[in-house]
Amino acid sequence: MRRKKMYPELIALGGAATRPQNGEKRPPIGGSAILLRYGEFGFLSDCGAYQARGKALEKETEQVIFDYKTIGGEYKIPIVKSLMNYLKQEDTLLPAKSDSILPDFSILNKVRYLIILLHHGHHDHVGGLPVLRKMLAGKGIRPIILATAPTRDFCKQAWTDQLKIMANKGQRSGYDRIMMYKLLKEIQIVNPGQTLSFGPFDITLIHAGHILGALSALVKVAEKKVFFTSDISFNNPLIPGATICSLDNVGKLDYLVSEFTYGKQRKHISKETESNRLINDVRKTLEEGGKVLIPALSIERVEIIFEALRQAGITKRWPVYINGLSAKISAVTYVRYGIIDSEIEKHFVENINQSYTIARSNNACVMIAPAGMMGGGWSVYFGSQWASDAKNLIAFTCYQIKGSPGYKLLTMKRGNELKLGDENICLRAKIRKYSLSAHASGEELEAMIERLKPKKTLLVHGEEAQIDNFVRSSVKNAEKMIVGKRYTI
Ligand SMILES: [Zn+2]
C-alpha cells in the first residue's frame, strides 16, 4: 500500500481568531501558541496564556523584600523573601477562571516530539507553559524548550504572578513553585543568530526588536520555509536592550505567520515624537499642580517611560514613583543586565501604606503602575483616586483592547461616570494616549510582506475586524488565522 504524502501544517492553539462553533469565544490577543506540525514532530511558537478581568486591590501592609537566587549556576534572578506577602499583593490582571486562560492544548494530541520556542517573556507568550509541561509529562513527552536568558528571567516573573493570582482567588493553577523552578532549569538558553536542528526542523533565531531578549524564528521543514514574527518591531529606538528586527537573512518564504497588534495603525509614528509629547504633557500637568498616572506594561514600558522622564529632568524636579511588584521585578532585571541605571530602584513605592499616602497627597507627582489597560493592579486604584480631578492626567502608553477600562476611559466623555475598582468615578481628568508601542505598524507589516513575498501570510495577535480590513484592502494572499483550522503548507 502506498503511503500518503505528508505535508507540514500550521495550526493555532491560541492567540488568533476563534470561530464561535469552537465553543467559548476568546479574544484574538493573548494565549499565543502556534504549532507547525510535521507527522509526529511539532514546533510550537510561543506558549502563552490569556488575560481576563481584574479584581479589586487587597489590603496588605507588609513590605515585600527582594533577594537573589542563582539559577542553573549562570545568573541571578530576583526572588521574593516573603512569599506570603507576595502572594497577597495584587498587581496584575486576573483570569476569569483557571481553565479559561489556556490555549487549546488538545491540538497537540498527535505530536510525540515537541520543541517549544518562547519568543519573548510577556505573559501572553509564556504563561501557558507550566501547565502544558505538566500535561506533556503525563503523556511521557519531554519537550525541548528554548528561550534567551532575559526571556527565561521574565518567565519566572510571569509564572510567579500567575501563581499569586490563582492563590488569591483560591484556584488551582495546575503547577507550583517547585515545578516552576524545575521548568526554568529545563529551558535551554539560545541567542539570536543561532540555527538549531530538531527532527525535521531547522530553526534560525532572529532579533525581533520587541523587548529585551525577543526573537522571531525562521523554520525550515520538508523544503518549506515558515517565518514566525511573534511580536516584532522594526523601528523603535526607545526600547531598552532590544535590537530591532532585520529581515536580511530571511529570504523568500512559503508561509509567514505575523502579528497584527498595531496593524490598524497604518503609518509608523515616530516614538521620539510620541515620547516628547508625553514628556511635555507630564511637565505641564506637574507645573499646574496636577498628578499624572501612567498605566504601563510591567516589562519594558515601565523602563522606557522612566528613562524618558529621567532624561527630561522630571525625576529630579518632582516625585516619580514605580508601583506594582511585577514592574519592580522587571526593572531589577533590566538593571541586572546593565541596560538601565540602578537609580530606578530608588523610585519604587515601598509598601501599600505609602501607596495610600501618595494617592491622598495634594502634591504633584507621577505614578507609573501596571496594569497597562487598567484591567487590575495599582493603575486601577490610582485611576479611581485621581480620575475625578480635572488637574490630573492619565497617560496611556500601550495597546488598549476593546472593553478594557483603559479603552472605556479613552472613548468616554468627560463628566460621565465609570466604575474603577471599588469606586464610581466621574471623569474629569485629561485622558491621553501616546504610541510607545513595541509593535510594527500596518505600513511596516505590509513592507515586510512585500519584501518576503510569502505564498501565504497568516495574521494573528490582532483585532479581527482590523485584520479583515487589512486583508480586503491591501494585501494579497493574507488571511486571518483561526484557532483550530489546519493550514497545509
Ligand atoms: Zn509582547
CATH code of the domain in which 223 resides: 3.60.15.10
CA dist., res. 281 & res. 244, Å (int): 28
203: β partners: 196, 219
How many CA atoms lie less than 13 Å away from 274 in the CB half-sphere?
20
On whether both 452 and 429 belong to a single domain, the answer is no
Whether residues 281 and 223 fall in one domain: no
Domain region containing 22: 9-55+90-266+438-488
In angstroms, the Cα distances linking 73 to 77, 84, 100, 185 are 11, 26, 36, 10
Q: Is 1 inside a domain boundary?
A: no
**How many angstroms is it from 60 CA to the middle of ligand 1?**
30
Ligand 1: distance of its center to the CA of 202 in Å?
24
Is residue 468 in some structural domain? yes
Rounded distance from Cα 45 to ligand 1 centre (Å):
13
Give CA–CA dist 310/314, Å, rounded.
6
Domain boundary among 433, 457, 474: 433
Q: How remote is the CA of residue 269 from the centroid of ligand 1, in Å?
A: 18
Q: Which residues contact 390 (CB under 8 A, 6 or more apart)?
A: 428, 429, 430
Spacing, Cα 428 to ligand 1 middle (Å): 32
Question: How far apart are the CA of 121 and the centre of ligand 1, in A?
Answer: 7
8 alpha carbon – ligand 1 mean position (Å): 27
Distance 418 CA to ligand 1 centre (A): 29
Q: How far is the CA of 482 from the centre of ligand 1 (A)?
A: 20
Q: What is the CATH number of the domain that holds 414?
A: 3.40.50.10890
Angle between helices 325-336 and 301-311 (to 10 degrees): 70
* Of the residues 433, 452, 473, the one at which a domain ends: 433
Q: 220 and 297 share a domain?
A: no
Ligand 1 centroid to 76 CA: how many Å? 23
pLDDT (0 to 100) of residue 241: 84
Point out which residues pair with 103 in neighbouring strands. Answer: none
CA atoms of 165 and 409, how far apart (whole Å): 25
From ligand 1's centre to the CA of 426, what distance in Å? 33
Q: What is the pLDDT of residue 375?
A: 78
Residues recorded for the chain: 489
C-alpha 255 to ligand 1 mean position (Å): 21
Measure Cα distances from 445 to 15, 45, 261, 404, 489 in Å: 18, 19, 10, 26, 21
172/298 same-domain check: no
Is there a contact between 397 and 281 (Cβ–Cβ < 8 Å)?
A: no
Distance 114 CA to ligand 1 centre (A): 23
CA of 7 to the centre of ligand 1 (A): 30
Q: Domain check: are 242 and 221 in the same one?
A: yes
Predicted pLDDT of residue 51: 65
Residue 70 resides in a domain: no
Domain-ending residue, one of 409, 433, 457: 433
User: Does 307 share its domain with 427?
Assistant: yes
Co-location of 229 and 349 in the same domain: no
CA of 127 to the centre of ligand 1 (A): 12
Question: Does a structural domain hold residue 160?
Answer: yes
Q: Distance, CA 263 to ligand 1 centroid (Å)?
A: 14
Q: Which of 129, 95, 135, 114 is nearest to 44 (CA)?
A: 114
Distance 344 CA to ligand 1 centre (A): 22
Distance CA 71, CA 69 (A): 6
Per-residue pLDDT of the chain (489 residues; tens, 9 = 90+): 566 789 999 999 999 988 765 556 677 778 999 999 999 999 999 999 886 433 322 222 222 333 333 333 333 333 333 333 333 333 333 333 334 478 999 999 999 999 999 999 998 999 999 999 999 998 999 999 999 999 999 998 888 877 776 676 666 677 888 889 999 999 999 999 999 999 999 999 999 999 999 999 999 999 999 999 999 998 877 788 888 888 988 988 999 999 998 877 777 778 889 999 999 999 999 999 999 999 998 788 999 999 999 999 999 999 999 998 888 888 988 998 888 999 999 999 988 889 999 999 999 999 999 888 887 789 999 999 999 999 999 999 988 877 888 999 999 999 999 988 878 999 999 999 998 878 888 889 999 999 999 999 999 998 888 899 888 887 779 999 999 999 999
Residue 298 corresponds to which amino acid?
S
Distance 232 CA to ligand 1 centre (A): 8
CB 39 within 8 A of CB 16: no
- Does residue 85 sit within a domain? no
- What is the whole-number distance in angstroms between the Cα of residue 303 and the centre of ligand 1? 15
| H helix intervals, 169-211 | 177-186
- Ligand 1 midpoint to CA 209 (Å): 10
Comparing C-alpha atoms, which of 282, 117, 257, 101 is closest to residue 187? 117
Å from CA of 362 to ligand 1 middle: 36
Distance between Cα 355 and ligand 1 center (Å): 28
Does 74 fall in a domain? no
Residue 42's contacts (CB-CB under 8 Å, 6 or more residues apart) are 35, 36, 108, 111, 113, 114, 115
Strand bridging mode 393-396 / 430-433: parallel
Residue 414 Cα to ligand 1 midpoint, Å, equals 32
From the CA of 125, how far away is ligand 1's center (Å)? Answer: 7
Q: How remote is the CA of residue 32 from the centroid of ligand 1, in Å? A: 10
At residue 169, the pLDDT reads 63
Asked if residue 61 belongs to a domain, the reply is no
Please report how the helices 271-287 and 301-311 are oriented relative to each other, as an axis angle in degrees rounded to 10: 60
Compute the distance from residue 215 Cα to the ligand 1 centre, in Å: 11
Instruction: Write the burial class of residue 283 (CB in 10 Å: 0-12 exposed, 13-18 middle, 19+ buried).
Output: middle
420 plus 284 within the same structural domain: yes
Distance between CA atoms of 399 and 282, rounded to whole angstroms?
Answer: 20
Q: How far is the CA of 119 from the centre of ligand 1 (A)?
A: 9
* pLDDT for the residue numbered 161: 76
What is the Å distance from ligand 1's center to 328 Cα?
18
- Ligand 1 centre distance from Cα of residue 231 (Å): 5
Distances, alpha carbon 446 to alpha carbons 80, 113, 333, in Å: 44, 34, 34
Backbone angle region of 241, left / alpha / beta, with phi > 0 → left and psi within -120 to 50 → alpha: left
Q: Which three cell numbers stand for residue 82?
A: 516573603
> Are 218 and 290 members of one domain?
no
Residue 288 Cα to ligand 1 middle (Å): 35
Which pLDDT belongs to residue 441? Answer: 87
How far does the centroid of ligand 1 lie from the alpha carbon of residue 460, in Å?
13
Domain shared by 309 and 210, yes or no: no
Q: Which residues pair with 45 in a beta bridge?
A: 34, 117
**Torsions phi, psi for 216 (to 5 deg):** -105, 170
- Pairing relationship of beta strands 430-433 and 201-207 according to DSSP bridges: unpaired
At residue 267, what is the residue type?
A: K
How many angstroms does the Cα of residue 6 sit away from the middle of ligand 1? 33
Q: How far is the CA of 156 from the centre of ligand 1 (A)?
A: 16
Q: Let me know whether 252 and 129 are in one domain.
A: yes
Please provide the distance, in angstroms rounded to a whole number, between the alpha carbons at the two ends of the chain: 24
Residue type, 124: D
Are 309 and 454 in a shared domain?
Answer: no
Give the total number of structural domains in the chain. 2
SS3 112: coil
* CA 322 / ligand 1 centre spacing (Å): 21
The answer to whether position 83 is within a domain reads no
